[in-house]
Amino acid sequence: MNIHICAYIKKKERVDMYLSTLLPDFSRSYIQKMIDAGDVSVNGKKIAKNLKIQQKDEISIHINIEKLQLSAENIPLDFVYQDENIAIINKDAWLNTHPTPGIDGKSGTLVNGLLYHIKDLAWIGWVERPWIVHRLDKDTSWLIMIAKNDKMMLYLQEIMKKREKIWKYYLAIVWWIIEEKEFKIESFIGRHPIDKIKMTTKNPINWKLAISHVKVLDYIDEKYTLVEIKIETGRTHQIRVHLSSIWYPIIWDKVYGDKKINSEAEKKYWLKRQALHSYKLEVELYWENKIFFWELKDDMKKIIKK
């Protein structure tokens, strides 16, 4: 498959960043691999991944359509809902969603489990992560949507892009007491200018608007707050970055949290992953608004019960 694009940008931009924004089905790292393999050219010439393109540059992309060589594995999956077009799963933390490079990354993933449990999965075009509709952090437990065919994949991606007909709610346990009962966090989020692993609200690179609505539900041990977050946008690490930016980091968040706070939470509650869980999903399916809810995983449940 070949794609031809005429760049429409106001200022120069790295070609890999531009394409990862323009083609949400491909991660930036995957696009860089295509560039390294010579499958991306600008104005008819092979390029380097750090090349900066400008207005009216012509970009050509050759996409090699290859089915993943994966085996079905009997991995326990927590199904919340399933029909002929879509499945919704309450994913465990630590379970990789899709395969990663290397021999060890080809097994033990959600995709391997899907191949075992769902017999009517259709091959979805040239999508890098087949059937997985939205990205998620490995250490987060949550409700994840699985598109079983092209038609459903395109529909779900479209409503997520337009921010309509779909609403996602999360539960998080954060450090310290939040006194304001309901509030909105609205900021620009982008790559950290120095630490490439992090996203940030301060001087971000390639920023995008991010909006989160926060509601306080309860307090735990007079030191932590249980909050519900409804997101209007779906930026990378959005909830973690937003809560950390207002000095209420999610406990045991190794990237945006505090080492001392995380250590205390681990000793007190035996918690070994960030206390973030997607517990409710509202989505319009078949011209009807459907609400899916699933309970917390055991590690977060123990803290809240305490």
What domains, with CATH codes, occur in the chain? 2-62 (3.10.290.10), 79-162 (3.30.2350.10), 166-305 (3.30.2350.10)
> What per-residue confidence (pLDDT) applies to 44?
92
Catalytic residue among 16, 36, 57, 137: 137
Q: In this predicted model, what pLDDT tens digit does every residue of 123-135 receive, in sequence order?
A: 655 555 568 787 6
> What per-residue confidence (pLDDT) applies to 306?
62
> What per-residue confidence (pLDDT) applies to 4?
87
Q: In this predicted model, what pLDDT tens digit does every residue of 218-258 receive, in sequence order?
A: 999 999 999 999 999 988 899 999 999 999 999 999 999 99
> What dihedral do alpha carbons 253, 258, 262, 265 form, nearest 10°?
-110
Q: For the full predicted model, state whether its pTM sits above 0.85.
A: no
Q: In this predicted model, what pLDDT tens digit does every residue of 171-195 receive, in sequence order?
A: 999 999 999 999 999 999 998 988 8
In the predicted model, what is the mean pLDDT of the chain? 87
- Name which residue leads in pLDDT, 256 or 4: 256
Q: Catalytic: 83?
A: no
Contacts of 253 (CB under 8 A, 6+ apart): 240, 244, 262, 274, 276
Provide the CA 205 distance to its chain's centre, in angstroms: 18
pLDDT of residue 261 exceeding 70: yes
CB < 8 Å & 24+ apart, contacts of 16-25: 16/49, 16/50, 17/206, 18/53, 19/59, 19/61, 21/206, 24/157, 24/161, 25/126, 25/127, 25/128, 25/129, 25/157
Helix, strand, coil tally for the chain in percent (to 5): 25, 35, 45
Q: How confident is the model at residue 305 (pLDDT cuts 50, 70, 90)?
A: confident
